[in-house]
A and B are shown apart, each in its own frame.
Chain A
């Protein structure tokens, strides 16, 4: 039984294969021969102070992921500041917030010779090796929202401890200092949430007024449906639960949604970090009494000004240095290269209608 072959076209196919291989070989050889080494042009830090004309620096924002409202508002601030400063502005990012997603984008910035990289690290370790390459090429690195070690400055919206304390205060105001409470966080390895939760636990340990028992810490993975189901689980597993803290905008909204539709509405207090337009309906219907956040656009705005200052050499990231931050005023660098933007913004029925400017 002979196997039929399509030999009629074999010569043509072989010719085409040869052409393709030849083309590939040419491309490879051309690449090897003409390949240059580094092309990232370093920021001209030395000359900036003496030259009369200001260099047009380039700044790129790399948020955790691009497709959510928090990021949109954040970038608005960054774009505004970049326009004021005359920076060449770009924003890139992945559509998911995985640990490795940002690395290719950092690599792009390394290759394009960007002067200032402002990044909210999805994972403190994964981004560092690429960021170090950027720094070696002369770029200035600023982290915002979520820190990593390999950076010149960290712009933090609110002091870590203050974020934790503010939420605990709100909870205390609603249910007093005793009772069972639970925490509904984002992903298991989210650095911001984990540091806030650690601060909360430390405060509960040390503060005599706070005698709550944290019965559970669950993860909603920053997904609406999952957070929703985790909230359900909490209430089923812990019938005496008096309060839930959710330091993530997705988690608090999902929990609020569940509570407002269930028999637990009004019986279980909910505090955390939430987006005003999203939480407004829950304040209005009484599910949530108070929650907190900050203005995300101020983060990126400040970061852009800090980046400009770093790039032109007027600051180097050392504690005590000051720099101008446009409409936000003047800022001083704190310990460990951290700049705090401001206090926690607290929202309740009294002021929720004022905050439509954080609009999406």
Chain B
């Protein structure tokens, strides 16, 4: 089964990777300034936060769940970052990262606990926590916003300075995504998620600790949302009660565009990350090519739909190829047996 899964996963990433490269190529052809060092840096930075969120969400969706509360979790973590720096200006940056990730992990754990113990659909639970966490964010922040001037220069510099040509926070995102992809692809316990997403009952019968895995997925997703919140505070000017509102649908769109099946069981974290890059780049590309501002959102919608259709077509084709090859294998086995 492992090699089988691997091959499918690779096939699913190709459409979105090709789309991404095509988009960049066409846009650069129409406007060469799209690929100046500043622009490339901007593209990478833009995609970083959504890519991290998409990676975590991919893990949740692969296990046949969904987490709609990521935007609210990011908001709480982002505001917490701002609040911590405002209260303790000398605090080491590492501690703030730790705090943000922990906050996110706790919120994710609450989601996971409810989904796993109450055995209720994650869409419902996380829709509820979307509201509850947003309410908590508002209750805590009120009308206060924390501005980037109150955060250490070194912290903000993480979103500006580069290492090996890549912005630091993007390197961080790549590292996180790589670790997650490795875990899901190469480790036995990671591949369990695909089994759970394909057929939860069979997975349970097979001996996979479904509850523990699903709970872990939500905790990791929450931790990544927390990390994304800290990075948001590093990159943007202000964090407050409204931070992160509406991110959830963008993240799910990125994951879906990246080839992760919404019903679980297939797709990869890398694909989701590419999907995130694709979606954030589309917006910048449309502006760079001077598409009428009133048409930009409609074009994004068309592109999301195209990505889903292409993904569906390629998945169907793969399934058909598999069925045919399995049928052929069955025939040859039968022939071999009967001769």
Q: Mark A275-288, 1 if CB is under 8 A from B, else 0.
A: 00110110010000
Inter-chain contact A360/B145, CB cutoff 8 Å: yes
Asked if residues B288 and A69 are in contact (CB atoms below 8 Å), the reply is no
| Residues of chain B at interface, number, CB under 8 A | 38
Bound-state Cα–Cα, A69 to B141, Å: 10
A262 within 8 A of B: yes
Inter-chain contacts of A360 with B (CB < 8 A): 143-145
Q: Are A278 and B238 CB-contacts (below 8 A) given A229-B46, A236-B287, A360-B144?
A: yes
Whole-angstrom distance between the Cβ of A215 and the nearest chain B Cβ: 9
Known: A236-B34, A360-B144. A253 touches B138 (CB 8 A): no
**Cβ-defined contact, A224 with B142, below 8 A:** no
Query: For B141, B156, B238, which residue has the most chain A Cβ atoms within 10 angstroms?
Result: B238
Which residues 201-226 of A have a CB within 8 angstroms of B? Answer: 216-219, 223-225
Measured CA separation A230–B283 after assembly (Å):
9
Q: Are A236 and B145 in contact (CB under 8 A)?
A: no
Bound CA–CA A230/B134 (angstroms): 26
**A80-94 contacts to B (CB < 8 Å):** none
Task: Contacts A69-B144, A278-B147 given; indicate if A253 touches B237 (C-beta within 8 A).
Answer: yes
What 0/1 readout, one digit per residue, does chain A (46-69) give for beta carbons within 8 Å of chain B?
000000000000000000001111
B236 touches A225 (CB 8 A): yes
B148:A67 contact, CB within 8 angstroms: no
A210 to B241, CA, bound (A): 40
Q: In the bound complex, do residue A219 and residue B293 qualify as a contact, i.e. CB atoms below 8 Å apart?
A: yes
Q: Which of B10-54 contact A (CB under 8 A)?
A: 31, 33-34, 38-39, 42, 46
Q: Which residues of B contact A218 (CB under 8 A)?
A: 287, 293
Task: Please state if B240 and A67 are interface contacts (CB–CB under 8 Å).
Answer: yes
Contact of A72 among B142, B149, B243 (CB under 8 A): B142
Contact of A66 among B134, B143, B232 (CB under 8 A): B143
Contacts of A257 in B (CB 8 A): 148, 236-237
Main secondary structure of the interface of A (DSSP, over half): helix
| Contact between chains at B287 and A230 (CB < 8 Å) | yes
Given the interface contacts A236-B287, A263-B38, does A278 sit within 8 Å of B31 by beta carbon? no
Check if B328 is an interface residue, CB within 8 A of chain A: no
B160 within 8 A of A: yes
The interface bits of chain A over 17-34 (1 if a CB of B lies within 8 angstroms of the residue's CB, else 0) are 000000000000000000
Known pairs A228-B236, A253-B147, A281-B147; A236 contacts B141 (CB<8 A): no
Distance (Å) between the CB of A263 and the closest chain B CB?
5
Q: How far is the CA of A234 from the CA of B290 in the complex (A)?
A: 9
Residue B242 CB within 8 A of the other chain: yes
Q: How far is the CA of A209 from the CA of B159 in the complex (A)?
A: 40
Is A4 in the interface zone, CB < 8 Å from B? no
A162 vs chain B, min Cβ distance (A):
26
A234 and B236 contact, Cβ closer than 8 Å, known pairs A263-B38, A277-B147, A278-B147? no
Q: Give the contacting residue for B284; candidates A217, A233, A263, A280; CB below 8 A.
A: A233
Residues of B within 8 A of A223 (CB): 242
Q: Which of chain A's residues has its CB closest to B161's CB?
A: A261
Name, among A69, A217, A219, A233, the residue most crowded by chain B CB atoms within 10 Å (CB to CB): A233
In the complex, residue of chain B having the shortest beta-carbon distance to the beta carbon of A69: B145
Contact B148 A281 (CB under 8 A): yes
- Nearest chain B CB to A27 CB, angstrom units: 27
CB of B82 to closest CB in A, whole Å? 11
CA distance A264 to B245 in the complex (A): 29
User: A224 near B42 (CB under 8 angstroms)?
Assistant: no
Asked if residues A229 and B147 are in contact (CB atoms below 8 Å), the reply is no
Chain A residue at smallest Cβ distance from B157 = A261
Closest beta carbon of chain B to A93's beta carbon, Å: 10
Residue of A nearest to B151 (CB): A281
Say whether A232 contacts B238, CB under 8 Å: no
Name the residue in A225, A234, A250, A263 with the highest tally of chain B Cβ atoms < 10 Å from its Cβ.
A225
A223 to B237: give the CA distance in the assembly, Å. Answer: 11
Q: How far does the alpha carbon of A305 sit from the alpha carbon of B218 in the complex, in Å?
A: 53
Q: Does A1 contact B (CB under 8 A)?
A: no
In the complex, what residues of A have CB within 8 A of residue B280's CB?
229
Asked if A71 is at the interface of the complex by the 8 Å CB criterion, the answer is yes
The answer, yes or no, to whether A148 is at the interface (CB within 8 Å) is: no
Which residue on B lies nearest to A219, using beta carbons? Answer: B293
Cβ of A3 under 8 Å from chain B: no
Cα–Cα, bound, A254→B145 (Å): 14
Set of chain A residues within 8 Å of B242, measured between Cβ atoms:
67-68, 95-96, 223
* A17 CA / B38 CA spacing, docked (Å): 67
A95 to B290, CA, bound (A): 33
Contact of A278 among B160, B237, B293 (CB under 8 A): B237
Q: List B contacts of A15 (CB < 8 A).
A: none
Whether A237 lies near B287 (C-beta < 8 A) is: yes
Residues of A within 8 A of B (CB): 66-69, 71-72, 95-96, 216-219, 223-225, 228-230, 232-234, 236-237, 239, 250, 253-254, 256-257, 261-264, 277-278, 280-281, 284, 360
- Hey, which bits of chain B sit against chain A, CB under 8 A? 31, 33-34, 38-39, 42, 46, 134, 138, 141-145, 147-149, 156, 159-160, 232, 235-238, 240-243, 245, 280, 283-284, 287-290, 293
9 contacts between A and B (CB under 8 A): A67-B241, A68-B241, A236-B33, A257-B237, A261-B156, A264-B38, A277-B149, A284-B149, A360-B145
Beyond known contacts A68-B145, A237-B288, A250-B238: 20 more, CB 8 A cutoff = A67-B143, A68-B143, A71-B143, A224-B243, A225-B236, A230-B287, A233-B287, A233-B288, A234-B287, A236-B42, A236-B284, A237-B31, A237-B289, A239-B33, A253-B147, A257-B148, A257-B236, A262-B38, A278-B147, A360-B145
